[in-house]
Amino acid sequence: MGTLGLQEKQQGQAGRMSSEMICCPNCDLLCSSQLVVTGEALRCPRCSYTLQKPKKNTFARVKALSLAGLLFYIPANFLPIISFEIFGIEKVSSIFDSVATLVQQGYLHVALIVLFTSLVFPLLTLSFLLFVSLGMYSKRKPQNVPQMFRWYHHLEEWGMTEIFLIAALITIIKMYHLAGVGYQIGFFCYIGLVISCVGCSLALDKQYYWAEIEKTFASHGDFKIEEHSHHRTEKHLTAKEAGLVLCHVCHKLTRMEKTKGEAQEKCPRCQAALHSRYPNSIARTWALIITATIFALPANILPIMEVKQFGITQRSTIMDGIIYFFQDGSYGIGLIIFTASIIVPLFKIVGFLIILNSIHFSRLTRLKPKTKMYRFISFIGRWSMLDVFVIALLCASVDFGFFSDVSAAPAAVYFTAVVIATMFAAVSLDPRLLWDKVR
């Protein structure tokens, strides 16, 4: 482990490595890394995107946290997390049970989304991080390290353990007056898993990792390190104007060879396909936003949950669920679900319409707030899954036959579709299109 200390010491310089010329992924502006320094973070002078923010001991922290997360993974997901007791009948349920119950109730699509976002993707992202962290400095230098880190980049926002934990807490509060609630061992393991997952993404310095990957694998003969650092720094010169292209994944600047078509170009560092702008960005985003808007209607009108008590069936919509919390006096929870299920999807759809309209009519006003709004929409989008997770947990944990039984209802499918469509819209929209007409 002697080299580890050295590597950690080099980390401070790694943030500054190859940084004479960097490019903003949100507005395509080329700038010198010495241009704006706010504290330790380097922000884009045009759209205030955080270009660089070196993090201390990233390698050691990510390695430890991803390993801890993997150790928590099995007990957290397969051991019971909560138990509810009604009329002397106790029902314990695990995270995996919530997926299995949705399948039994015939909601395969929702079950698959819950399965991937709460079980599969967290496992993959933790495994990729550990593999990359170990592989970067191992003697064998496994060839798929850059590929694994690229996959991590794509899957990162789709692992939603922390949202599932908040959903579990809401479920407990919802059931508190109706049943005896017991915390099981899995619950505490799940908290460990969430801390590990969130800790990993907070501790991860992607630029440092990519720089190290490039150094390690370049010496192995895989990558050529491009020399384009001494470009002129003109005011508002974009990468596109300078004949450079920024990798969407690892943010490496590469010279675009005019002889090759865009689609054939691969990033020399992470092997992702290079595009000056995302292909068909506008058309894809429009298609996804229209899809989300259409699904938003049945998602809000149809019932999302069905409660059977003593043979009487009560069906409730998203809004009914929110009103329930307000009538119950749980204003905080009501407000959280109202924000996650109603405000966020609405804000996302309206926000995308404003951005698309701005691109379409080449409006050059308020570009900075619009870019900030795009970043906010991308960040907040996944939290709308909260209500779907609450329903999944209620279905699994409230199954007392004749006395009380909760199951999902059709709006769950439409609502999940809205969330997924708007998340994909955020991925397919290229914010640089907003800035392209600026002269």
Which residues of this protein are in contact with Zn ion, per CB under 5 A?
24, 26-27, 29, 44, 46-47, 49, 247, 249-250, 252, 267, 269-270, 272
Instruction: Output the smallest distance, CB 252 to Zn ion, in A.
Output: 5
User: Which tokens sit at 303?
Assistant: 């019932």
DSSP 22-85: EE-TTT-BEE-TTS--BTTBEE-TTT--EEE---TTHHHHHHHHHHHHHHHHHHHHHS--EEEE
Assess contact for 38 and 85: CB atoms under 8 A. no
Instruction: Output the smallest distance, CB 293 to Zn ion, in A.
Output: 29
**What count of other Cβ atoms lies within 10 Å of the Cβ of residue 352?**
23
Instruction: Output the smallest distance, CB 47 to Zn ion, in A.
Output: 3
Assess contact for 254 and 47: CB atoms under 8 A. no
**Alpha carbon 27 to its chain's center:** 21
Instruction: Output the smallest distance, CB 41 to Zn ion, in A.
Output: 13
Instruction: Output the smallest distance, CB 22 to Zn ion, in A.
Output: 10
User: Which CB sits closer to Zn ion, 24 or 420?
Assistant: 24
Assess contact for 169 and 55: CB atoms under 8 A. no
Instruction: Output the smallest distance, CB 247 to Zn ion, in A.
Output: 3
User: Which CB sits closer to Zn ion, 240 or 269?
Assistant: 269
User: Which CB sits closer to Zn ion, 26 or 93?
Assistant: 26
- Which residue stretches of 228-343 are H helix? 281-301, 318-328, 331-338
User: Which CB sits closer to Zn ion, 167 or 246?
Assistant: 246
User: Which CB sits closer to Zn ion, 249 or 392?
Assistant: 249
User: Which CB sits closer to Zn ion, 27 or 168?
Assistant: 27
Q: Which residue has the tokens 């679900």?
A: 337
**What count of other Cβ atoms lies within 10 Å of the Cβ of residue 353?**
13
